[in-house]
């Protein structure tokens, strides 16, 4: 009786089967064919119907319309724009407006969120209750409602510019928005910027050097006086040498409105306030969860090693808390960016409002415009999540998890 070893199975065929059909083999391949056929059929239906519909409505498909004149005005533009500019310019203007409201909102939301989280964690009973009430009320009201509340109930109820509320005679709040001083560049502006850049780069280099000295030779170098000197002293010196970098133009009340200064439109104020307070409630809970997730023993272990309380916090507690905090925090930043599209409800000229709203109703190019708008948001989301997965990979690697 021969006991020859059986031949090993053909690995290539197995591999192909695995790649094509996953764990289910040829059954999976068959399922995929059916699925592809259904998808193809749906795709065919959509394309043929859209073609017929566009032909009936006499709309030419394609992105040619982007070169046509827009013919409408936008009440907040970061780049120069007039009604005779193209729809492409409208797209850029809307995109910049979306980005600016998102960035400002994210900054404020982070600050408010951290403050509220610290309030909720505070041993002070009253303050932690205040934080809790804030979070519970704000989180459970729809964000659209809050935007409308700030715009229609708070800002519209403010006095007109002649009776506007003034803060130190510099900033004026009225129902026409917020008027703030405008910086005007002077002769010393470029040297000031250059000195600032040199200072930041120098401070970073010093930090890298100090850390490598600590890790490789165990040598503690005190760098903070030099860092302060670089960050503040150098720009100050350039200011003395080259003159002031910029002066402020103060707003003056003339007639029924303000002259000078720059005006922030009330829509922007309402949207920023609503989005940042709303997202701050979520951020507060995330931060609180992150800090509470670090075990009390970590703090005790740090002090048993002889580290001071601040050092323990900085080196042991915060890094572990950040690991928990950062991914949901980015999610909230994304949510804020996406929620900023609700600006269309109060007429803030963001991407959805000026491009998917006004431009769409003027040109009727629904497919192109909505695809572009969705594509922009999708791109922002995907980029952020890609960055986040890199971050998650690095954190899990550095913590050895």
Partner 1 sequence: MSDITSSSFVRHDLLTERPAPVKTTGFIGLVRTRLFNSPTNILLTIVGALLLGFTIVPSVKFLMVDAVWTGKDRAACLPENAGFAVGACWPYIQAKLPQLIYGFYPEAERWRVNLALILAAVLLLPLLVPRLPAKGLNAGLFFFAFPVVAFFLLHGGGITGFGLSWTAGLLQLFDDSIMSAGQALLSPSKTSAIAPLLWVIGNLILLVGTAISWLIFPLTWLRDQIQGTGQSVWVDFAITTVVVSLIAFWLGGGVRAGWRTLASSLAAFVAIAIVIKLMGLDHGGLPIVQTSLWGGLLVTLVVSVTGIVTSLPIGIALALGRRSTIPLIRIFSIAFIEFWRGVPLITVLFFATYMLPLFLPGNFTVDGLVRALIGIALFTGAYQAENVRGGVSCDPARAGRGCRCARAVLVEDDLAHRAAAGAAPRHSEPRQQLHLAVQGHFARFDRGAVRFARFPASVVRGSEVVDAVDVVHRLRLCRYHLLYLLLWNVALLALRRAPPQRPPPQLIELHHVR
Q: Which is nearer to partner 1, 56 or 140 (CB)?
A: 56
Residue 71 tokens, joined? 């013919």
Q: Which is nearer to partner 1, 117 or 210 (CB)?
A: 117
Q: What's the closest the beta carbon of residue 380 comes to partner 1, in angstroms?
A: 8
Environment class of 192 (CB within 10 Å of its CB; exposed 0-12, middle 13-18, buried 19+): buried
Residue 178 to residue 78: CA distance in whole angstroms: 16
Q: Which is nearer to partner 1, 24 or 160 (CB)?
A: 24
Count of residues engaged in binding partner 1, rule: CB under 8 A = 51
Out of 37, 39, 228, 315, the residue judged to bind partner 1 by CB under 8 A = 39
Of residues 107 through 166, those in contact with partner 1 by CB under 8 A are: 122-127, 129-130
Of residues 44 through 103, those in contact with partner 1 by CB under 8 A are: 44-46, 48-50, 52-54, 56
Is the distance from CB of 66 to CB of 86 less than 8 angstroms? yes
**What is the x/- site pattern for partner 1, positions 341-380, by CB under 8 A?**
xx-x-------x---x---x-----xx--x--xx--xx-x
Residue 109 to residue 103: CA distance in whole angstroms: 10
Q: Which is nearer to partner 1, 188 or 357 (CB)?
A: 357
Handedness of CA 327, 333, 335, 338 (dihedral sign): negative
Q: What's the closest the beta carbon of residue 252 comes to partner 1, in angstroms?
A: 31
Stretch that binds partner 1, among 109-117, 160-168, 321-329, 337-345 (CB under 8 A): 337-345
Q: Residue 50: which H helix or E strand, with range? A: helix 26-56
Q: Is 304 in the site for partner 1 (CB under 8 A)?
A: no
Among 151, 178, 77, 159, CA closest to 347: 151
Q: Which is nearer to partner 1, 76 or 339 (CB)?
A: 339
Q: What's CA 388's distance to the chain center, in Å?
A: 13
Q: Is 21 in the site for partner 1 (CB under 8 A)?
A: yes
Q: What's CA 287's distance to the chain center, in Å?
A: 17
Stretch that binds partner 1, among 99-107, 165-173, 231-239, 334-342 (CB under 8 A): 334-342
Q: What's the closest the beta carbon of residue 167 comes to partner 1, in angstroms?
A: 16
- Residue 81 dihedral angles phi and psi, to the nearest 5°: -150, 135
Among 135, 75, 130, CA closest to 347: 75
Q: What is the DSSP string of 121-167?
A: HSS-HHHHHHHHHHHHHHHTS-HHHHHHIIIIIIITTSPPGGG-EEE
DSSP β-bridge partners for residue 183 = 248
Q: Which is nearer to partner 1, 12 or 220 (CB)?
A: 12
Q: Which is nearer to partner 1, 19 or 220 (CB)?
A: 19
Q: What's CA 56's distance to the chain center, in Å?
A: 41
Q: Which is nearer to partner 1, 114 or 377 (CB)?
A: 377
**What is the x/- site pattern for partner 1, positions 381-400, by CB under 8 A?**
xx------------------
Q: What is the DSSP string of 167-209?
A: ETTTEEEETTEEEE-EEEE-TTHHHHHHHHHHHHHHHHHHHHH
Out of 174, 276, 312, 339, the residue judged to bind partner 1 by CB under 8 A = 339
Is the distance from CB of 131 to CB of 284 less than 8 angstroms? yes
Q: Hunting for tokens 């703030």 — which residue is that?
A: 180
Residue 121 to residue 133: CA distance in whole angstroms: 13
Q: What's the closest the beta carbon of residue 337 comes to partner 1, in angstroms?
A: 8
Q: What's the closest the beta carbon of residue 325 comes to partner 1, in angstroms?
A: 18
Q: What's the closest the beta carbon of residue 305 comes to partner 1, in angstroms?
A: 27
Q: Give residues in contact with partner 1 (CB under 8 A).
A: 19-25, 27-28, 31-32, 35-36, 39, 41, 44-46, 48-50, 52-54, 56, 122-127, 129-130, 338-339, 341-342, 344, 352, 356, 360, 366-367, 370, 373-374, 377-378, 380-382
């Amino acid at each position: 009786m021969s006991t020859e070893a059986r031949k090993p199975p053909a690995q290539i065929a197995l591999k192909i089967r695995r790649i094509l059909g996953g764990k289910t083999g040829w059954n999976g391949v068959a399922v995929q064919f059916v699925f592809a056929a259904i998808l193809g059929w749906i795709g065919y239906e959509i394309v043929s119907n859209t073609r017929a519909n566009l032909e009936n409505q006499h709309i030419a498909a394609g992105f040619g319309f982007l070169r046509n004149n827009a013919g409408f005005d936008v009440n907040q533009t970061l780049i120069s724009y007039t009604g005779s500019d193209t729809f492409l310019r409208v797209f850029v203007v809307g995109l910049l407006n979306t980005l600016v409201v998102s960035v400002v909102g994210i900054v404020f939301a982070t600050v408010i969120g951290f403050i509220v989280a610290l309030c909720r964690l505070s041993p002070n009973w009253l303050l932690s209750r205040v934080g809790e009430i804030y979070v519970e009320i704000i989180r459970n009201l729809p964000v659209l409602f809050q935007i409308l509340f700030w715009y229609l109930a708070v800002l519209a109820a403010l006095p007109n510019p002649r009776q506007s509320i003034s803060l130190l005679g510099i900033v004026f709040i009225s129902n026409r928005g917020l008027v703030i001083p405008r910086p005007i560049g002077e002769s010393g502006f470029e040297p000031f910027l250059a000195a600032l850049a040199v200072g930041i780069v120098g401070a970073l280099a010093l930090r890298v050097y100090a850390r490598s000295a600590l890790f490789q030779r165990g040598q503690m170098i005190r760098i903070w006086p030099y860092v302060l000197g670089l960050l503040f002293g150098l720009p100050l010196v350039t200011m003395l040498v080259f003159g002031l970098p910029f002066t402020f133009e103060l707003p003056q009340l003339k007639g029924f409105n303000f002259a000078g200064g720059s005006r922030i439109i009330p829509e922007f104020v309402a949207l920023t306030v609503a989005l940042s307070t709303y997202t701050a409630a979520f951020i507060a809970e995330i931060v609180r969860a992150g800090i509470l997730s670090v075990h009390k023993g970590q703090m005790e272990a740090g002090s048993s090693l002889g580290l001071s309380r601040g050092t323990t916090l900085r080196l042991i507690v915060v890094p572990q808390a950040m690991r928990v905090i950062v991914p949901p925090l980015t999610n909230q930043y994304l949510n804020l960016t996406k929620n900023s599209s609700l600006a269309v409800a109060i007429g803030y000229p963001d991407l959805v409002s000026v491009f998917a709203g006004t431009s769409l109703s003027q040109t009727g190019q629904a497919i192109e415009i909505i695809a572009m708008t969705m594509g922009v948001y999708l791109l922002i989301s995907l980029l952020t999540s890609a960055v986040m997965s890199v971050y998650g990979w690095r954190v899990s690697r550095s913590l050895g998890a």
